[in-house]
Amino acid sequence: MRVATRRRPLSTPAEAFRHVVNQRHAAKAFDTTRDVPEAMLQDIMQLTQRAPSSFNLQPWTCILVRSADQRELVGRAALSESNRRRVLDAPVTAVFCADLEPARSLPRVKAEAQAQGRDAQQVEDLELAVGYYATHGKLASLVKGFASNALSPVAPAPQPEGRKAWAYKSAMLAAQTYLLAATAHGLATAPMEGFDAARLRAYLDVPARYALPLVVATGYPPADAPEPTPSPRLDAADVFFEDRFGGSLRS
């Protein structure tokens, strides 16, 4: 049984955040008898929407799969029995979708920028920037690549990347915010990549313009679940450098 222990109050925001980060782990099981309260889920959604995104395009959506029938369908898309079981047991599974055609949101973003009082030139620059990153196709990529490589020795220039990679950045920022928000509410989460995206798209009626980078099973941990043991991490010196790649950190 999980034994309740009395902890001293977390006195600073940093301590509170550290607690949330250290409590987050990939749950292996969920309490099948407890649902996520509506008010809690609403707060998690609101917090998730505060995730940053390029030009504030917010090029992602999230499907909250809750009904037993839909969870069964999502489970059929799992590549492993453990992932299928998590989806079936968790009362909520968040399916994050990355928008591969974010320029479609540009009119809304421009209207919001104008409502915030930005000048016409800022709005125009926003359209140019989004147009550069959001366009796709082999010809567009070749042109952007040639222009960037030619300009880079003279002045800083944006380097082209695949539209999927660009969209995934914002979607994964939202997914991480969701994970931490759920953890802050005492929920367990299990982020998973092991799904057949084609099946998942068909089961959930996801339009072709969206990619599916991540699925997050969400619910309460079982009552008898042990306290999570932190999984190992590389040494800080292996992942953090100073001033340049490979630069040693100060002692």
Residues of the chain with CATH 3.40.109.10: 31-100+169-221
> Rounded to 5 degrees, what angle do the CA atoms 221, 225, 231 make?
90
Whether residue 5 has pLDDT greater than 70: no
| Cβ burial 48-85 (10 Å sphere, 16+ → b, else e) | beebebbbebbbbebbebeeeebbebbbebbeeeebbb
pLDDT tens-place string over residues 50-60: 999 988 889 99
pLDDT tens-place string over residues 88-129: 999 999 999 999 988 788 888 788 878 888 777 777 777 777
215 against 226, higher pLDDT: 215
d(CA 1, CA 12): 30
pLDDT tens-place string over residues 151-160: 556 666 566 5
Specify the CATH class of 31-100+169-221 in words.
Answer: alpha beta
d(CA 111, CA 139): 30
Which pTM was predicted? 0.86
d(CA 207, CA 49): 21
Reference 91, options 64, 125, 52; nearest CA is 64
pLDDT attached to residue 225? 87
Tokens linked to 2: 């999980």
d(CA 249, CA 217): 37
Q: What is the DSSP letter of 26?
A: B
